[in-house]
Structures are given as structure tokens and as C-alpha cells.
Amino acid sequence: MANVNMAVDFGGVKMKNPINTAAGTFGYGWQFSELMDVSALGAITTKGCAAEPWEGNPAPRMTELRGGMMNSVGLQNPGVRAFAEQSGPWLADLAEKGTRVICQVAGHSTEEYVRALELFDELCPWAAGFEINVSCPNIAAGGAACGSTPEGAAEVMRACRKVTKRPLFVKMAPVRVPEIAVALEEAGADGLTIINSIQGMAIDVHTRRSRLCKPKGGLSGPLCHPIAVRMVWEAVQVVDIPICGVGGVMTGEDAAEFILAGACCVAVGMASFAEPDASVRILHELEAWAESQGVSDINELIGAFEC
Amino acid sequence: MPNPSPARVHDFTVVSNEPIADGIFKLVVSAPACAAALKPGQFVNIAVPGNAMSLLRVPLSFAAADAQAGTIEIWYAVVGDGTERLSHMAAGDTSTLLGPGGRGWGAPAGCARALLVAGGIGVPPVLCLARELAAAGVAVDVVFGAATAAKLVGEAEARVLGAGEVRVCTDDGTAGHHGFVTDPARELLAANAYDYVATCGPAPMMERVAGLAKEAGVFCEASLERMMSCGFGACNTCNVQTVDGMKGACMCGPVFDASKVVVF
């Protein structure tokens, strides 16, 4: 370790290394506290919370697919107040240890995002920044719509921008990424998280029913990786704000692809379910790769893809 | 903060892995620390090695855990890619498992007589409970069912552990009572005074058994099955709808107070 500087600046969130966790795949962090050294990571992103508790969808919420999985959790969460009360002390301690905590913000409308963010800003002084989830595909009431047009995404961003001075990121749906990225940058986003899960369907042909509680679900895992790398690379061409690459990272080389495509940090998702400490292994593998590239600073490799 | 899961990642070595019925295998693994910690009704989440297209662990109940020998005995049905590949693991093969997971059975204090009803691959966790109750001096009656005789497991083990009544059923009548486990369960509940009913198997079966227990005024627990991503409380995918809201099967279950379950 330490032959390569791994520290990166993700839109004002100064991370000691580029490894982050994808919201919804890492709980509130403490679920992993006995299974790995969470403080080894550059940052964690906590599962989305809304102003009020959401019960989420009925079962079945998950189905496994070749090379990945599909979920329809529906953003079950206890609400920001309960989150801050139950998980805040542990997360404050994690922040003390130098791992940045980014809290994901959920809502069904601009007003709900603003209300949730107001609560986060008030109740979570230890949070380094916030990630607005305008792209969760599971919310019938309009979450998908907010993030699926440049105007809708920018409206949420502009309203949220007035609420906090801390860094604000947007978790982007894998649709119209370049144009929405530009709109979000103009609306004041400090960075972008690309991509959220990809909408898919899985039908049980014997029962003729969905394998989830709803017809559609969100695909994640390695099957999404090449698509996510492409979308990060396309966004990098059109915005100057930093990007966190997300999608099917299972190894250090998968993370390195995002870095080369132009992401300044990388979030580990599904891998943490199968192998709780995957993110730490991926960090070490990424570091070894950076060293093998003969650089002294990982920042030299951000966007170093040669087409 | 709420307590994290007690589950830890443990290395294991396969001791044996043999078929015991049509499509059902008995896997014995050596994993001493986990074997000593497991309680009946909990589960382990197994990483099946190999170049897999299915990446998540396979959550499985267990039929016995031997703290002295350091072994865990798991009976599993081959139902998908993960269990299919698991069936090819051989003695000496190694991987990891995550456990102990979840909340196990909780027979009421002072329980004198229990009725245990299981169907299909729901038998192993119930058998494990039966052994524990019998060892504690509780009178145990069991009803085990399967689709057909070739898939029926656990009858011999139930007799060995000293169960009073051992009733078996098959959907096609090839062994024991021709019909569902709910028929003998109803008879036994009418004939005897029980303090506890425990059940594991197909969801409609558990729902009916819970209904019979409720009619008889007996406390009932059911071990539920859900698709699970992590098994330690981080993913929110294994939800169970209860009268107290959504509860994760991996942390609040898999064993639930049946009277609180809305959707089995």
C-alpha cells in the first residue's frame, strides 16, 4: 500500500481512496460492521431515505438472473428521523475515522426531496454530502419521471441546491444520460453517480407471472457493467463535474475500467451481498492495478482511456 | 443502532454430499465455529464455488449441527443453478458460508407437548427442532409430507429421536396417508393438548397449519422462505408482510410467530 496516492476529490467530498458503496447494497453501513473494516473505504453511500417511512413493495422483491439480479424493493426505509437516530451515531464514528458518508435522499416529488433533504441537513451533521435518487425505477408515483427528462431532473436539483451547502450528487437513471447530465450540472450538481439499476423484466413461464411483485424491476450486477462504463464515458465527454461509476463491479479491474472511462470514484454494489467484504478486496486490487500502471497518483489514470 | 447480524463468514470443507431422496441431497460440512453457534431454525448462506452465472449465496436451513464434531448437516433440494452446482461439490472441496443467520425456533417456556408439521424440503429445520425438544424432555409428535414417496425424507430420523406419533403423507398416496399433512395435523390437534405447533414447508401448507393451530388455541411458529440477496440485513429483499409491518426474513425470521404473518 501507499506507493500510489489513492485520494480523490468527488465534488468536494475528499475521499482517501476511490471506493464507495452503491446505495441500497450496503444498508446503513453498520450491517457490515462485524463482517469487514468499513473504515478502509473512501466513502459509503447509505440506502435512500425519505422524509417519512416507506414500507416498500410486497414479496417477492428479488430474483436472481444469469450474471446479476433484479429487484423491486420499492425503497423501504424508516424515514430520515429514524435513520438519523438509529444509524447516526455509528455513521458519525465512521466519519471520524475518515470514511466519508454520503446519504441518499428519496422522494416521490420535488417537494418530498426537499423535505427529506432539509431533515438530512439538520439531523446528519456528520454527512459529507447527499445523493438525490431521481432515478429509482421502482416508484410508480413519479420517481422515474423526475429523473428521466432533463427538465424534471434539473427541477429537483435546483430545488435541492437551495437546501444545503454540502456537496450534492444525483444518482442517474440509465436513460438520456448525456443530456440529463448537462442539465444537472447547470442546475448545480457537484457530481453524478452513474448508473442506477436498469429496468428489466423476468417472467416465470410456468405460472405466466412476473418473478417479482411487479412486472418490471431494476437490474444490477455484472450484466450491467459494460453499459454503465459506456454511460460514464459518454457523460465525461459533456460535463466537467466528477462522476462516480456504478454497475456490476466485482473486481479491481472492473473498477479500473470506470476510472479509465473517466469516473473519479467507483461504487461497489451487488458484490457486497455475495461477499460482504468485496469492497475492501476491490480496493486492494485497484491499488495494485494503479501501481502496475506505473503512476504515483490514481488521479493520473482518471479518464486515461485511449480509444 | 440496531444489532448487526450475528452471521460471520466461515471457511468450510465438505465431509460428504450424497443424495438421500429424489432430487434431495444431504451435505455434511466441517465448519466448527459456525456449528457451535447454530440454533435450530437458523440458516447458513453458502457460496458455491465455480465459474457461476448465479453470483449470490444459497441460503439453506440445516438438519443438524454437531458442536463436538464441528459439523453441520444440510438437506437441500436441487431447484436451481446454485443448488445444482452445490450437488457436485465433493468431500474435501472448500468454500465459505455465512452464518448463523436469523432467528430460530422459540418454543414457549414450559412446553410439554409439541406438534411439528413439515412438507417437502421444509422437513430438515423441523427435524432439528424435534431433536432439541425431545432431548429437553418435550413430547413430540411429527407429521411429514412430500409430493411422492421418492421425495419423502425424515421419517426414520423422527422415529430414532423418539417422537410419539410419526405420521407421513404423500400427495399421490405412494407412502403413508394419501393427502396433505393438514389431515393428520387436524386429527392430532383434536386428540391431544399441545403447547406449541411448529411448521415449515410450502406457503399454503403453513398457512393452513397456522389456521388449525389458531382454531385449537395453540401458539404456532412458521419458518418462511424468501428470495434473499445478502442474508445479513442489508438488502431489504427478503421481506415478510406481518401485522407489525414488513420484516426481513434474514434478521426477524426465518421463524415467525405465525399469528403475526400476513403473507406466508
Mean pLDDT for the stretch of residues A211-229: 96
Is CATH 2.60.40.720 the right assignment for the domain spanning B8-101? Answer: no
- Residue A3 domain-assigned (yes or no): no
- Residue A133 domain-assigned (yes or no): yes
| Interface probe, candidates B58, B227, B243, chain A, greatest A C-beta count within 10 A | B227
In this prediction, residue A3 carries a pLDDT of 87
pLDDT band, very low/low/confident/very high, at B52 (cuts 50, 70, 90): confident
pLDDT tens figures, A92-110 = 999 999 999 999 999 988 9
Contact A273 B240 (CB under 8 A): no
Residues from chain A that touch B99, judged by Cβ atoms under 8 A, are: none
pTM of the model: 0.92
Domain spans, chain B: 8-101, 113-260
In this prediction, residue A136 carries a pLDDT of 55
CATH number, domain with residue A39: 3.20.20.70
pLDDT tens figures, A235-253 = 999 999 999 999 999 999 9
Please report the DSSP string for chain B in residue order: -PPPPS-EEEEEEEEEEEEEETTEEEEEEE-HHHHHH--TT-EEEEPPPSS-S--S-EEEE-SEEETTTTEEEEEEE--SHHHHHHTT--TT-EEEEEEEESB---PPTT--EEEEEEEGGGHHHHHHHHHHHHHTT-EEEEEEEESSGGG--SHHHHHHTT-S-EEEEETTSSSSEES-THHHHHHHHHHS--SEEEEESSHHHHHHHHHHHHHHT--EEEE-----SSSSSSS--SEEEETTEEEETTTT-BEEEGGGBS--
pLDDT tens figures, B169-212 = 999 999 999 999 999 999 999 999 999 999 999 999 999 999 99
Residue A211 has pLDDT above 90, yes or no: yes
Mean pLDDT for the stretch of residues A175-199: 97
Residue B119 has pLDDT above 90, yes or no: yes
Active-site hit among A136, A146, A213, A265: A136
Overall domain count for chain A:
1
Contact A59 B56 (CB under 8 A): no
- Residue A270 domain-assigned (yes or no): yes
Catalytic (active site) residue A213: no
A92: domain range? 8-301
Residue A305 has pLDDT above 50, yes or no: yes
pLDDT tens figures, A28-80 = 999 999 999 999 999 999 999 999 999 999 999 999 999 999 999 999 999 99
pLDDT tens figures, B224-253 = 999 999 999 999 999 999 999 999 999 999
pLDDT tens figures, A266-293 = 999 999 999 999 999 999 999 999 999 9
Mean pLDDT of chain B: 96
CATH architecture of B113-260: 3-Layer(aba) Sandwich (3.40)
- Residue A36 domain-assigned (yes or no): yes
Which ipTM value was assigned to this complex?
Answer: 0.90
Q: Which of A63, A87, A222 sits opposite B1 (nearest CB)?
A: A87
Contact B55 A222 (CB under 8 A): yes
In this prediction, residue A140 carries a pLDDT of 47
Residue A139 has pLDDT above 60, yes or no: no
Residues from chain A that touch B54, judged by Cβ atoms under 8 A, are: 64, 66
